[in-house]
Structure 1
Amino acid sequence: MAVEVGSKVQGKVTGITNFGAFVELPGGQTGLVHISEVADSYVKDINDHLKVGQEIEVKVVNEKDGKIGLSIKKAIDKPERPSSSYSQRPPRQARNNDNRSKSNFQPKENFEQKMARFLKDSEDNLSTLKRSTESKRGGRGGRRG
């Protein structure tokens, strides 16, 4: 039985690698679910999401040169959003330029304070870097051998 691109099928996880999971499909074929296709969120370790022998539903994403690409996150049916989401938002009020002067916004730091903090941090970083590189170079009077 040949799998078709776009179809959803049940499969069994047969192997897990650091880049994805191999899934046995009906008909004895094997496909790969890339780690980026496991979940909608970032997947650092695929073992947190899948186990060998687990039955999962996958969607066939592509098939090229006998290699089958699968996706778990595309196999999950998501509720459709309304096509015109903008019509449901309340209308924005026009912004007057006069509002800026009436605003209660107060910055935490002024420019001079930010610049002084930046310069101090930069000098600290440079001195730390200089200390660590001088010891590696040997500095003046270092051993010659």
Structure 2
Amino acid sequence: MTLQVGNILEGTVVNITNFGAFVDISGKTGLVHISEVSDTYVKDIRSHLKEQDKVKVKVISIDDNGKISLSIKQANPVKKSFRPIEIDWESERRKASNLSFEDRLSKFLKESEERISDVKKNQESKRSGGYARR
């Protein structure tokens, strides 16, 4: 079978390094870079893969020198379905109507102060080059 970009094949992990894993597919070895192992951040590749693991990989590219780039995360696409959160506005209104005006005002002020302090902290850290002043 000839390897072509876009093929999805089964392979065996033959070696693991800090930057990725080498996978044997059809008698040839390709590299799965650490960024192509999972949809989430991978700090240590050894927590996701072991040598001799069977993995499904997608051929991303084959360069002129014959180097094969592979991806595990593209071979196993996860379909994420985002649905808006259902909010019961009537119950929210009922909760708010049970509070007195003074209680609602104090709640608003408290939440506003928290938001303003977060914004100020963020601005200070940007001004000081990423480090918060003490």
TM-score above 0.5: yes
Which residue of structure 2 lines up, in the alignment, with residue 31 of structure 1?
Answer: 30
Do the aligned partners of residues 110 and 14 (structure 1) sit closer, same or farther apart at CA in structure 2, a change above 3 Å counting?
A: closer
**CA separation in 1, counterparts of 2:29 and 2:114?**
58
Residue 108 of structure 2 is aligned to residue 105 of structure 1: yes
Q: CA RMSD in A?
A: 3.2
TM-score (norm. length: structure 2)? 0.62
Which letter maps to 1:55? K
Q: Cα distance 1:89–1:4, how it changes in 2: closer, same or farther (>3 A)? A: same
Q: Which residue number in structure 1 is paired with residue 43 of structure 2? A: 44
CA distance in 2, matches of 1:9, 1:33: 13
Aligned equivalents of 1:12 and 1:30: distance in 2?
Answer: 9
Alpha-carbon distance between aligned partners in 1 of 2:115 and 2:55, rounded to the nearest angstrom: 53
What residue in structure 2 maps to residue 79 of structure 1? 79
**Are residues 1:15 and 2:18 paired?**
no
* Cα distance in structure 2, aligned partners of 1:109 and 1:12: 51
User: Per-residue deviation at 1:78?
Assistant: 3.0
> How many angstroms does 1:105 deviate by?
1.9
Matched AA of 1:20:
G
Change (3 A) 1:110 1:35: closer
2-structure distance, mates of 1:2, 1:32: 17
Give 1 or 2 for the bigger CA radius of gyration: 1
Which residues of structure 2 form unaligned runs of 5+? 87-103, 125-131
